[in-house]
Amino acid sequence: MAASNDAGVVVVFDFDKTIIDCDSDNWVVDALGASQRFDELLLHLPWNSAIDAMMGELHSQGKSMDEIAGSIRTAPLSRHVVAAIKTAHALGCELRILSDANAFFIDTVLAHHGLAGYFSEISTNPASVDAGGRLRITPHHDFRHGSCSSHGCALATCPPNMCKGKVMEEMLQELSVAAAAGMRRPSRVVYLGDGRGDYCPTLKLAERDYMMPRKGYPVWDLIAGDRRAVRADVRGWADFKDLETVLLDIIHECAVAAMVEQDGGGQVVVGMVVPECCALPAPKVAMAVLPKAIHASN
């Protein structure tokens, strides 16, 4: 049976420029005074390989893991993002991260802000510290033995080291199997992102799902370029206060939709009480069922 605290909503966050308001790789490189060298590496290396090489050079220059960790801990993270994460979790949503950053930077930021326990899964580029104390960053999908990606996606927006669309497909399949086995409720996925790499997973979402693109960023422009290609309900956000409001509105809407499905499609109006523990609670209002936009096939 599905757990009683399962809201039937899986919220999947990108990390860079979505949870934190910067690119984590650039933030660390800039903080450690290596911006020019990193730009030089990018002239002949893919991004993932360049950041690994950069960490090797910083280690050779005597930069310690404590210095690297200290730099990423200063990355900007809005209180509205913290509130959105805590409120969504308290409402029974499962939270995950799907990011082309790396495990060390993400884990360090989440631990620093007391958020590590809110996420059930983090899919990103692996990171480890070798015997010499040097940070190694490896690709999520291994392409190091060839010039092309190994993930098989032909979409130009996917970097060779990680196809988020492939990860999203695996995630959706996992959720479907678990629901069919009665281990969880059928899930609606809410995906938040900003970059070109967030477009491929957007295309994998179904009509019952939601995409939250950051307005004015690459994924917003890609979606706007061919809205019919995206089956999910698209809800943009402009700033982090907006992110919190839009996400909590979607969660309320999903609760309404779940009640309608449970009651056989009747018109139901419900209210969702937000736990008092959350720093910035959502409005305690009743929400009516909203009509879904008609999707035109390609």
Q: Looking at the domain assignment, is residue 199 inside a domain?
A: yes
- Work out how many domains the chain is built from and give that number: 1
Asked if residue 155 lies in contact with residue 164, where contact means CB atoms within 8 angstroms, the answer is no
pLDDT of residue 265: 53
Q: Looking at the domain assignment, is residue 65 inside a domain?
A: no
End-to-end CA distance of the chain: 38
Q: Looking at the domain assignment, is residue 50 inside a domain?
A: no
Please state the residue numbers annotated as binding site: 14, 16, 25, 100, 194
3-state secondary structure 232-262: CEECCECCHHHHHHHHHHHHHHHHHHHHHHH
Q: How far apart are alpha carbons 16 and 264 in whole angstroms?
A: 40
Q: Looking at the domain assignment, is residue 51 inside a domain?
A: no
Q: Looking at the domain assignment, is residue 112 inside a domain?
A: yes
pLDDT of residue 150: 63
Active-site amino acid positions = 14, 16
- Which residue range is the domain that position 191 belongs to? 9-24+75-287
pLDDT of residue 89: 98
152: burial class by Cβ within 10 Å (0-12, 13-18, 19+)?
exposed
pLDDT of residue 50: 97
Q: Looking at the domain assignment, is residue 152 inside a domain?
A: yes
At 233, list the tokens: 């309900």
| Helix, strand, coil in percent for the chain, rounding step 5 | 40, 15, 45
The CATH number given to whatever domain includes residue 133 is 3.40.50.1000
What is the SS3 assignment for 271? strand
Q: Looking at the domain assignment, is residue 197 inside a domain?
A: yes
Q: Looking at the domain assignment, is residue 126 inside a domain?
A: yes
Closest C-alpha among 21, 195, 171 to residue 99: 195
Please state the residue numbers annotated as binding site for Mg(2+): 14, 16, 194
What does each of the 298 residues of the chain score in pLDDT, given as a tens digit? 444 467 899 999 999 999 999 999 999 999 999 999 999 999 999 999 999 999 999 999 999 999 999 999 999 999 999 999 999 999 999 999 999 999 999 999 999 999 999 999 999 999 999 999 999 999 998 765 444 556 668 899 999 999 999 999 999 999 999 999 999 988 999 999 999 999 999 999 999 999 999 999 999 999 999 999 999 999 999 999 999 999 999 999 999 988 887 776 544 444 444 455 444 444 433 333 323 443 443 3
